[in-house]
């Protein structure tokens, strides 16, 4: 079953320079498509502060959300809803309109992420929901993904912008030496930053999602 993904910008009306934020998002989306060219429908802006895309499965969507989280600057934070289920389009004179159980589930997931962040889990950013019949009967796939995401979001939210860049590079297989050269710092500084942030757990999780 495919995974529909809805992304919106957290607090978009409070961002001082909305145009700069959109440029950063556009660059991050283009980079995501280069680094992880598996989307059935690449993530793209729809209207206002929302983006949509479709991925072949849950693992691919989880990988995409992580890479996007890690590549965005501090000024641009996003919320992500992954919906497992069928997706389609409703014909319209102005073009096809995305519709189907997968999109409804993605909308429910992003609303859950928002509710969690507003209550006891301010770092919550990514949630998964499923339409009827898209996972096994007791919903293990969704529960396991959401349990993993609680911890992943907490680790990523505590990282500095530079540490997120370093973690992003490690997810893509760059060495600490290569990252040090890119950042203009020593390899020791890279190692210390990654270790202090618990980045190894995030990178290993990404590796496991690759199968």
The pLDDT tens digits of the residues spanning 65-107 come to 999 999 999 989 999 999 999 987 755 445 556 678 999 999 9
pLDDT at 134: 52
Cβ atoms of 4 and 89 within 8 Å: the answer is: no
pLDDT at residue 123 is higher than 50: yes
Q: Work out the average pLDDT over 146-159.
A: 97
pLDDT at 174: 97
pLDDT at 49: 83
Cβ atoms of 40 and 54 within 8 Å: the answer is: yes
Q: What percent of the chain has pLDDT over 70?
A: 91
pLDDT at 137: 45
- Residues with Cβ within 8 Å of residue 136, at least 6 apart in sequence: none
Q: Work out the average pLDDT over 43-63.
A: 92
What's the pLDDT band for 136 if we cut at 50, 70, 90? Answer: low
Cβ atoms of 107 and 82 within 8 Å: the answer is: no
Q: Work out the average pLDDT over 4-19.
A: 84
Q: Work out the average pLDDT over 11-34.
A: 86
Task: Please state, in angstroms and rounded to a whole number, the distance separating the CA atoms of residues 191 and 72.
Answer: 21
The pLDDT tens digits of the residues spanning 165-201 come to 999 999 999 999 999 999 999 999 999 999 999 999 9
Residue appearing with tokens 């793209």: 44
DSSP notation for the chain: --EEEEEEETTGGG-S-HHHHHHHHHHHHHHHHHH-TT-SEEEEEEETTEEEEEESSHHHHHHHHHHHHHHS-TT--EEEEEEES--EEE--TTS-EEESHHHHHHHHHHHHHHHHHHTT-TT--EEEEE-TTSS-TT-HHHHHHHHHHHHHHHHHHTS-HHHHHHHHHHHTT--HHHHHHHHTS-HHHHHHHHHHHTHHHHHHHHHHHT-
Exposed e or buried b for every residue in 117-135, given b needs 16+ CB within 10 A? beeeeeebbbbbbbbeebb
pLDDT at 16: 76
Q: Which two tokens stand for residue 159?
A: 């990282």
pLDDT at residue 111 is higher than 80: yes
Q: Work out the average pLDDT over 121-143.
A: 80
pLDDT at 53: 96
- Structural domains in the chain plus CATH codes: 3-138 (3.30.70.270), 159-211 (no CATH)
């Amino acid at each position: 079953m495919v995974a529909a993904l809805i992304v919106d910008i957290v607090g978009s009306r409070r961002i001082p320079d909305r145009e700069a934020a959109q440029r950063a998002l556009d660059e991050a989306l283009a980079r995501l498509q280069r680094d992880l060219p598996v989307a059935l429908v690449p993530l793209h802006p729809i209207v206002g502060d929302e983006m949509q895309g479709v991925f072949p499965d849950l693992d691919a969507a989880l990988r995409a959300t992580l890479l996007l989280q890690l590549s965005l600057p501090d000024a641009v934070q996003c919320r992500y809803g992954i919906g497992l289920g069928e997706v389609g389009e409703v014909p319209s004179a102005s073009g096809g309109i995305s519709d189907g159980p997968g999109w409804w589930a993605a909308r429910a997931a992003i609303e859950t992420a928002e509710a969690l962040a507003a209550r006891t889990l301010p770092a919550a950013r990514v949630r998964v929901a499923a339409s009827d019949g898209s996972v096994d009967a007791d919903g293990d796939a969704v529960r396991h993904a959401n349990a993993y995401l609680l911890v992943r979001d907490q680790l990523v939210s505590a990282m500095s912008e530079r540490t997120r860049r370093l973690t992003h590079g490690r997810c893509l297989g760059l060495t600490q030496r290569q990252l040090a050269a890119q950042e203009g710092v020593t390899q020791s500084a890279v190692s210390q930053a990654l270790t202090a942030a618990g980045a190894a757990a995030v990178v290993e999780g990404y590796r496991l999602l690759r199968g």
